[in-house]
Amino acid sequence: MNNNALTAMTGGITRIHNTPITEIEGSPAPQKRPALAAPTPSVTVSLSEDVLGENSKAQQITEKFEHTVRELYSPEATSAVNDKNQQTENKTQTLLEMAPLSLPTKADVIAFEQLFSDELAKAGVDVSIPIKLNITSEGEVKVSNDHPDKEKIEALFKDNSDLQQGFVKTETYGTLQKLYQLHQQWQQKIEGGASEESANNWLINTTKSTLASSQVSFQNGKISQSFNGGNAYS
């Protein structure tokens, strides 16, 4: 478990704790993200004490962000979904179920970028044409654009578990970055006079659309990730 994985994203998130999952007060929780299987219980992250005040803005944002991360990525939050997948797919593990739960860093993105570049070169794939990737509901990595080597690229992910997990970490890294930005906007809405219920509903709906629109792109040896409403990184 990488205890410092989100530090580079948010400037202060440093620790992981085990904690029960709770609901957002006054609002239904966002739709759960397919979980990365893990032997540990639920996951939460928090800011180090030196940046926290009793009612500080950072604390409010982080508590909300912690909740969202637990809802989307903790094993308990998706155990029912995983059980259903195993029953309906004859217990065939999907990509997301096989990958270990971790909080990725930029280093994971760079490692995947290099590994993917090497594998594409071995397969003779044209990397001058953009390769756009996403994960299906079955947990498979698919090429979403019209690339002449689409079948070759998808076969690489089926046959290489390191490549599979590298993609999962890369996509998760960008998604968490984007979600933290959304939580900052949530705080701004409350400070601007919006009710907490209204801000919560906005956050839930925006989180859903963000997760649905996530797309990782690769071109000329470089990875980028985009969502409706902007990039997470490039």
pLDDT digits (tens, 9 = 90+) for 157-170: 999 999 999 999 99
Cα(189)–Cα(101) distance, integer angstroms: 32
Q: Contact, 103 vs 5, CB < 8 A?
A: yes
One-letter identity of residue 154: E
What average pLDDT does the chain have? Answer: 73
CB-based contacts of 194-202 (< 8 A; 24+ apart in sequence): 196/25, 196/26, 197/26, 197/27, 200/24, 200/25, 200/26, 200/27, 201/27
| Residue the block writes with tokens 């959304």 | 182
Contacts of 49 (CB under 8 A, 6+ apart): none
pLDDT exceeds 60 at position 73: yes
Give me the residue spans of the domains in the chain.
Answer: 7-233
Instruction: Please tell me the predicted confidence (pLDDT) of residue 40.
Output: 38
H/E stretch holding 13 reads strand 13-17
More confident residue, 179 or 84: 179
* Contact (CB, 8 A) for 179 and 65: yes
Listed ranges 44-53, 155-164, 225-234; the one with the highest mean pLDDT: 155-164
User: Is 29 in contact with 4 (CB distance < 8 Å)?
Assistant: no
- Whole-number Å distance between alpha carbons of 169 and 167: 5
Query: Which tens digit of pLDDT belongs to each residue from 83-141?
Result: 434 443 433 344 444 444 457 899 999 999 999 999 999 999 999 999 999 988 888 99
